[in-house]
Amino acid sequence: MIEKVKQLAKEYGATKVSHFGKWFEYDVYLPYFGKNYPAIGLPIVFLAKDDEVRTATEKEYKDILSKEE
């Protein structure tokens, strides 16, 4: 599964991914685009469950990322 996440991240130009945690039944992965927090665009968040890997919708990533840092 992680290979599929990495493959999808690569398509977006990310150099690696990190596991952020669990969100409902999904494993959440965040892409890494380089040092100095590069400006890329709106957040791209990967959700993985069983064999399914997809990017989160705006509503989903807002819910995932909005917790206090």
Partner 1 sequence: MIKKILMAINEYLAINDRWITIHPHGKDSDDYRRLKIEGDETPKEAIDRVYKKEEKKEQKKDGNSFVEKHKKLEQEYQELMGKREAIREDFTKRLNKYMEEHPKYKYARAEKEFRKEFAKEVEEKEKENEDLYSKIIDKDHEIDMLHREEGDRLNQLKIDELNKNELEQFLNDFEKVNRGRLSYDVSQNLFKKQHKAKERLDGLGYQEKRKSLIEVNGVKKKKPMTHEEADNGHVNPNYEKGIDDKGYSTNCQSCVVCYELRRRGFDLQTRARQSFGKMQILAEKPEMAYIDPNTGKTPEVNRMYVGNKNDAYGWLDNNIKDGRYVFRVKWKNYHSGHIISAERINGNLTLYDPQNNKLYDTKDKILERLDLVSFRGYSKDTKPFILRVDNLDIKQDFADAITVKE
Give the footprint of partner 1 on this chain (CB under 8 A). Answer: 11-15, 18, 20, 30-44, 62, 64-67, 69
Rounded to a whole number of angstroms, the minimum distance from the CB of residue 28 to partner 1 is: 10
Q: Nearer to partner 1 by C-beta: 50 or 68?
A: 68
Rounded to a whole number of angstroms, the minimum distance from the CB of residue 4 to partner 1 is: 15
Q: Is the dihedral of CA 36, 30, 1, 10 positive or negative?
A: negative
31 vs 18: CA distance, rounded Å? 7
Which residues partner with 48 through β-bridges?
Answer: 27, 53
Q: Nearer to partner 1 by C-beta: 2 or 7?
A: 7
**Residue 47 is encoded by which pair of tokens?**
């959700």
